[in-house]
C-alpha cells in the first residue's frame, strides 16, 4: 500500500505538459476573477448604509406650521433643548428633497413661504434655532444668549405676542395646500401646544377635518408640559394625529433621499461570486483515477 504523498513515475508524463499549462492558466484567470468580484462585493456591501430615520417621507411636500407666540418664546428661550428640537424638525423637512411651505402663527397666522418652495428654503428659518459659531466674523445685528450660546434674534419676536390659536395656523396651512395643489401633503406642527381655552373647540374641529381629508399631521411638541401634551393627544386622538412621533420614515445617508447604495448590485455580485466558485470547483478539481471504460 502506497504511503500518502508518494509519487508514481509515469513514462509519458511529458504528454501532459500542455494540459498542465492550460489548467494553470484557467486557475490564474479564475483566481483573478474571484479576487475582483470578491473586492466588488466588499465595496458594494460597504457602500450600503442603514437608512436614517426621518420625520417626513423622502420627496414629500407639505407645510411646516411654526408656533412663534409669546408662550413658546418664553419656553424655548429658557430651554435650549427645545430650540434644538425645533431646528431638528425643520432640518428633517428641509432634507426631504420635496417642497415645503411655512406658516407662522400666534393668535393670527401668516404665510411665510408657499408650499411650492423647495424644502431647502426651510433652512432660512432653521438658522434662528441654531447657535451662532463662536468664531463667526459677521454676526446678526441682534443676538440673544441661551445656555452659554448666542442665537440670532428672530424677526417675529415682537410681531406675534397676543396669545396662541393653533387652529388658525392649521387652517391656513390647509388653505395653502389647497391653493398650491399639493398632492399627498404632510403637515408638521411645531408648537408648545399651549393653545388658548377659546381655541379648544375650533382646534378640535380643524383637526377632525384633517383626518377626514387624510392629511397626515405630525406634531412636534417643543417646550410643552406633560399636561398640554397629554391634552393635545386626547383632543386629536380620533383624527389619528401623531404627537411627538418617533421617526416614521427612512432616507439615505447625508439627509438625501435615495443616496444609499442599491442592494441590487450587491446581490448580483454575490451571485457572480458563487458562480465563479462553482466553476472553480468543476474546472480545477484534483485529478483522480478511474476505471477505463470497456468497449465492444
- Both 205 and 277 in one domain: the answer is no
Q: How confident is the model at residue 234 (pLDDT cuts 50, 70, 90)?
A: confident
pLDDT at 3: 61
Which residue has better confidence, 101 or 245? 101
Q: At what angle do helices 263-283 and 17-47 cross, to 10 degrees?
A: 160
What integer pLDDT is reported at residue 55 of this predicted model?
78
Shared domain check, 58 and 26: no
pLDDT at 286 over 80: no
- Of residues 77 and 243, more confidence is placed in 243
| 132 & 274 share domain | no
Identify whether residues 114 and 92 lie together within a single domain: yes
Of the candidates 105, 76, 63, 12, the one whose C-alpha atom is nearest the C-alpha of residue 221 is: 76
Number of domains in the chain: 2
Spatial neighbors of 272 by CB under 8 A, at least 6 apart, are 37
**DSSP letters spanning 255-289:** G-TT-SPPHHHHHHHHHHHHHHHHHHHHHSPPP--
Would 294 be classed as within a structural domain?
no
Band of the pLDDT at 86, cuts 50, 70, 90?
confident
Residue 293 lies in a domain: no
Confidence grade of residue 176 (pLDDT, cut at 50, 70, 90): very high
The pLDDT of residue 252: 46
Q: Quote the pTM value.
A: 0.63
Percent of the chain clearing pLDDT 70 (strictly above): 67
Q: Could you give the CA distance from residue 86 to residue 114 in angstroms, rounded to a whole number?
A: 20
Range of the domain at 32: 17-48+263-283
Which residues pair with residue 144 across a beta bridge? 151
d(CA 96, CA 100): 9
**CB hemisphere CA count around 272 (13 angstroms):** 16
Residue 52 vs residue 163, higher pLDDT:
163
The predicted pLDDT at position 254 comes to 35
**Given this model, what pLDDT does residue 1 score?**
54
The answer to whether residue 87 is domain-embedded is: yes
Is there a single domain that holds both residue 22 and residue 75?
A: no
Of 201 and 282, the structure prediction assigns the larger pLDDT to 201
Contact 56, 188 (CB under 8 A): yes
Residues 6+ apart with CB under 8 A from 286: none
The Cα–Cα gap between 99 and 116 comes to 6
Same domain, 240 and 178: yes
Amino acid at each position: 500500500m502506497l504511503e500518502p504523498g508518494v509519487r508514481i513515475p509515469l513514462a509519458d508524463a511529458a504528454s501532459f505538459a500542455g494540459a498542465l499549462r492550460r489548467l494553470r492558466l484557467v486557475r490564474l484567470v479564475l483566481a483573478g476573477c474571484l479576487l475582483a468580484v470578491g473586492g466588488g462585493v466588499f465595496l458594494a456591501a460597504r457602500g450600503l448604509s442603514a437608512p436614517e430615520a426621518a420625520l417626513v417621507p423622502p420627496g414629500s411636500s407639505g407645510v411646516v406650521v411654526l408656533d412663534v407666540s409669546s408662550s413658546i418664546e418664553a419656553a424655548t428661550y429658557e430651554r435650549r433643548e427645545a430650540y434644538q428640537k425645533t431646528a431638528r424638525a425643520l432640518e428633517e423637512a428641509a432634507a426631504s428633497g420635496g417642497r415645503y411651505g411655512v406658516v407662522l402663527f400666534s393668535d393670527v397666522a401668516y404665510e411665510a413661504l408657499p408650499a411650492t418652495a423647495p424644502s431647502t428654503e426651510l433652512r432660512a428659518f432653521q438658522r434662528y434655532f441654531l447657535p451662532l459659531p463662536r468664531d463667526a466674523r459677521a454676526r446678526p445685528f441682534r443676538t440673544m444668549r441661551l445656555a452659554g450660546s448666542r442665537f440670532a434674534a428672530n424677526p417675529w419676536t415682537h410681531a406675534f405676542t397676543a396669545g396662541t390659536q393653533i387652529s388658525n395656523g392649521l387652517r391656513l396651512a390647509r388653505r395653502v395646500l389647497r391653493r398650491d395643489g399639493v398632492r399627498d401633503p404632510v403637515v408638521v406642527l411645531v408648537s408648545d401646544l399651549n393653545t388658548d381655552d377659546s381655541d379648544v373647540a375650533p382646534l378640535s374641529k380643524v383637526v377632525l377635518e384633517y383626518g377626514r381629508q387624510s392629511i397626515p399631521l405630525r406634531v412636534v411638541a417643543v417646550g410643552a408640559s406633560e399636561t398640554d401634551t397629554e391634552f393635545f393627544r386626547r383632543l386629536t386622538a380620533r383624527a389619528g394625529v401623531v404627537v411627538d412621533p418617533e421617526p416614521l420614515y427612512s432616507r439615505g445617508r447625508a439627509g438625501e433621499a435615495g443616496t444609499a447604495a442599491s442592494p441590487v448590485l450587491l446581490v448580483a455580485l454575490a451571485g457572480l461570486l458563487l458562480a465563479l466558485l462553482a466553476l472553480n470547483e468543476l474546472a480545477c478539481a484534483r485529478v483522480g483515477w478511474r476505471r477505463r471504460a470497456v468497449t465492444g
